[in-house]
Chain A
């Protein structure tokens, strides 16, 4: 595989080399969520360790701990067997840990050379930055990587994403980082660029660096990684040498949990078609989306983050313009140009970003609920508070909202109760189609169950529901049919009968083969 024979042998079965970085019992909690629970991880020199897991498995939290952005609540981090504190991003960098993110954390407005040496630029005797040495050494580093085509004087913003990644790697080399974290580095790269990146990773390996590689794409993981670690719900559920472990086994680890929550099985008797979307396309985000939604049906949208699911929903809600295709609601073609248009037509959207887009923090509960229905609760534009309170009470109580009064600031509610306010707000408008984008993301179990329960009631009353979710049990537990999206396209539309979690995950991750 590489010319580093020693570690190559080691990676085959039992690594004889001592790990470069060791994590022991790392835990991290956020209000209401245990993001990491007693996690261990080893990164070996000269090897690529792939970190695998569903969205929300705790991968990003781990990266943030390794780069000094978050502090763990418990546990130990050791480099070369010596415990270290990564108290700040600066400290982490001093320990030789660097990260190349999905969106690079480099600076667009300054030159390539400055980006590479930011914070450790060569100095003249007087303490000023030695620009000539800076440029020369930048050229050397880039040249050594085989990236001599990038001029050190170019402003970073003029580079393609692939070349920006190369600059990121050059930076890692220049600070003599020993541990390089790559968080979905290929997300925005073309096939050829991915190849170039992988050549570089081989170089880093040969140089004895320890690499943590995060990706959702199995073909890449198998191509580059020596070892893997699977995370699920904040715990490490498996780890080992990679080429020997079959994909199917890893997929099983990823989704492994049984659908332990009991999802209210609604008596689905889908009626006539309410929403018909045909060939809906966006210049960059999605292409050729085509589905029908019936009354009394929950249609799930599953896929990886960035698959374009939310973008499709926002197009239906009038937030983004489409380039092609049509939307038919109750047989009539609509072209919502704003959320106001969509709401008037009868399509409402419960956004993923609850605090930013869902509720108006600082306003009381009843004002949040009545906001889209003010035309109905007011007469000739004059508010009628009693009508507003009645409306707010009718819908929030049905959702079992926990609040001391309807005049309470919505910002003082828990995430789950805020979500209930958002849903109540939309139900009060009497919609035809309700779109829920990650409806239970980051909310407590109790509220989760209430939201699920309520979705069942909604469809029982003939409402049509679209649910975007990255949570497998939720998608499988609630949906009648499931649209799987990948990279802006519809991969398939599956009937949720005898569907296996493995098949769903494989479709979303783009795994070909018979195990899907």
Chain B
């Protein structure tokens, strides 16, 4: 339809927005996270004299970069109202297939392609089950979580794959400049891309709409299934990339590789301010949350806290960050308007 014309009475002009967006930004969840990150940073530097060292800070980043890469895609998926619990198992399967390829003499480029390709296929498989069959993603990916890792166990038993070519070691062990590792550089660049996609493109806008109300999104002419499918593929792809990095860093593959990572990835996303119910969140928060998790793990390590306690910590953190926004909302609603 062409321009609608009716100017007999000039309608009231509705402003774009009220109040300055700057002030809203200062009071945001991201700022809170940043404050927490700074606090943990200071606590760490007080707790250990070895903490404030360029190389030890660089080592710290290896604690989270691989998980955080997955968290970027997972954030998009959770905002759209879905979830993928199979990411750690995708790493196991990708890593196992890479290890198998090594036995047939496949070189580094081939290994990378296999690792990433496997991740992408696994993500596509999840996506197909969810969007084509209309199954809930939590059920589908609990299933594929067992399936993917199960295949690794069948192939590998309790064995181990080794003998990765030395050039393959660069991805998980190399540095691009001084103390900046390849992993960290890759994470920062990828995070920038995800930020742009989620917050600055129409694709990102559609993700938010779907997460808020997928029925209304569909009724608004959005191809909901297609978009969700892409998001599952992206999550699989990022898991494949993480598999390449992790395998390269460890130099070996066991079927129990990356066990339990799905929880840490999801904790990162939720801590980053993404609503577990979908529809809200941002990449910046996830990036800060990744650093917080890394700092915390490292700090607890400095204090010689055993791994099992750390997983208790992660679990508590997950519950707290899910409960906090809900409590927050209740408190605000309790106040008279």
Interface of A toward B, CB cutoff 8 Å: 319, 338-340, 342-344, 348-349, 351, 356-363, 366-367, 371-372, 374-375, 377-378, 381-383, 389, 393-398, 400-401, 403-408, 425, 427, 429-431, 457, 461-463
Contacts and interface: CB of A to CB of B under 8 A. Distances in A.
Nearest to B17: A407
Chain B interface mostly: loop
Interface size bucket, B side? 20 to 34
Contacts of A362: 212-213, 279-280
Interface stretch (B6-14, B161-169, B281-289): B6-14
A406 B17 contact: yes
B132 interface: no
B304 interface: no
Interface in B175-216: 200-206, 208-209, 212-213, 215-216
26 contacts: A338-B223, A339-B219, A339-B222, A348-B221, A351-B219, A356-B215, A358-B216, A359-B213, A359-B216, A360-B209, A361-B216, A362-B280, A371-B217, A374-B205, A377-B202, A393-B14, A397-B11, A397-B13, A405-B15, A405-B16, A406-B14, A406-B15, A406-B17, A407-B18, A457-B4, A462-B1
Nearest to B225: A338
Interface in B1-39: 1-2, 4, 6, 11-18
Contacts of A381: 201-203
List 5 tightest A-B contacts by C-beta distance, closest first: A343-B221, A407-B17, A374-B202, A397-B11, A378-B202
B201 A383 contact: yes
A99 B318 CA distance: 46
B137 to A, nearest CB: 20
A363 B200 CA distance: 16
Contact of B221 (A358, A372, A378, A406): A372
Contacts of A389: 16
Given A377-B202, A383-B200, 16 more contacts: A340-B223, A360-B213, A361-B212, A371-B209, A374-B205, A375-B202, A381-B203, A383-B201, A383-B204, A397-B11, A397-B13, A398-B6, A404-B14, A407-B18, A430-B1, A461-B4
Given A378-B202, A381-B202, A356 B16 contact: no
A271 to B, nearest CB: 14
B190 to A, nearest CB: 18
Contacts of B56: none
B11 A398 contact: yes
A367 B279 CA distance: 13
A340 B215 contact: no
Nearest to A403: B14
Nearest to A344: B221
A375 B205 CA distance: 11
B218 interface: yes
Contacts of A342: 221
Nearest to B7: A398
Contacts of B201: 378, 381-383
A395 B1 CA distance: 12
A381 B197 CA distance: 9
Which among B202, B206, B208, B218 has the greatest number of chain A C-beta atoms within 10 A?
B202
Contacts of B333: none
A26 to B, nearest CB: 31
A387 to B, nearest CB: 11
A406 B208 contact: no
Which among B12, B209, B212, B219 has the greatest number of chain A C-beta atoms within 10 A?
B219
Nearest to B219: A357
A462 B5 CA distance: 13
A319 to B, nearest CB: 8
A366 B16 contact: yes
Contacts of A393: 13-14
A340 B18 CA distance: 33
A83 B4 CA distance: 60
